[in-house]
Amino acid sequence: MSNFIHLSEAKKGDFVRIESIDNEKLSVQLLCMGCMVGEIAHIEQIAPLGDPMMISIDGSLLSLRKSDAREVIVSQLKK
C-alpha cells in the first residue's frame, strides 16, 4: 500500500492524493477552494522561506501554509 504522509512533508514536484483532512473548519474552507478528499494535488512551488507551499489541483493553483498543510493527510503517488 502507499504510505500516508502530511501534505506539509511532500516535496516540490510530488504528486499526492488527498486522503483526509483532520480539522473540520479547515476542510470546509479548503473544499470550497477545490481541495478535497480524493483529489490529486501536484506540489508546484515551495516559497523561498520554506513556507507557504503552492499546489495545483484540477488545473487551478492554491497556496497554503505548512501549518495548515500539516492537517492534510495525503498518499504519495508515483510521478
Partner 1 sequence: MGRKNVGSNQKKKIRLLLVGNPNAGKSSLFNELTGLNQQVGNFPGVTVEKKSGNAKIAEHLSAEVIDLPGTYSLSPRSEDERVTFDYLNQKRPDNKEEIIVVIADASNLRRNLLLCSQLIDLNLPVILALNMMDIVQKNKQSIDIKYLSETLSIPVVPMNARLGKGITELKANITKFARKDRPPFISIIEGEKPIDNAQRRNQRIREIVAKAVTAEGEMKVNDLTRKLDAILTHKVWGYAIFLFILFLIFQAVFSWSEFPMQMIEEGFLFFGNFVAESLPPGVLNDLLVDGIIAGLGGIIIFIPQIAALFAFISILEDTGYLSRISFMMDGLLKKFGLNGRSIIPLLSGAACAVPAIMSARTISNKKERLLTIFITPLISCSARIPVYTLIIALIIPAEASIGIFNLQGIVMMALYLFGFLAAIGTSFFMKFFVKTNESSHFIMEMPIYRAPRWKNVGYTIVNKVKVFLFEAGKIIIAISIILWILSSYGPGDSFEKIDEKYASGLLEPNINNETMEEQRASAKLQASYAGQLGKFIEPAIKPLGFDWKIGISIITSFAAREVFVGTMATIYSVGDADNTTSLKEKMNQAKDPVTGEKIYTKATGYSLLIFYAFALQCMATVAIVARETASWKWPVIQIIYMGALAYFASLITYNLFS
- For the CB of residue 42, give the shortest distance to partner 1 in the complex, in Å: 8
73 binds partner 1 (CB under 8 A): no
3-class state of residue 7 by DSSP: helix
- For residue 9, the one-letter residue type is E
Pick the binder of partner 1 from 51, 70, 73, 76 (CB under 8 A): 51
Number of residues in contact with partner 1, rule: CB under 8 A?
32
3-class state of residue 70 by DSSP: coil
Of 32, 44, 33, give the one whose Cα is nearest residue 7. Answer: 44
Neighbours of 53 (CB within 10 A): 23
65 binds partner 1 (CB under 8 A): yes
14 binds partner 1 (CB under 8 A): no
The partner residues of 71 in beta bridges, in order of sequence, read none
Chain contacts with partner 1 (rule: CB under 8 A): 24, 26-34, 36-37, 42, 44-45, 47-52, 54, 56, 58-65, 68
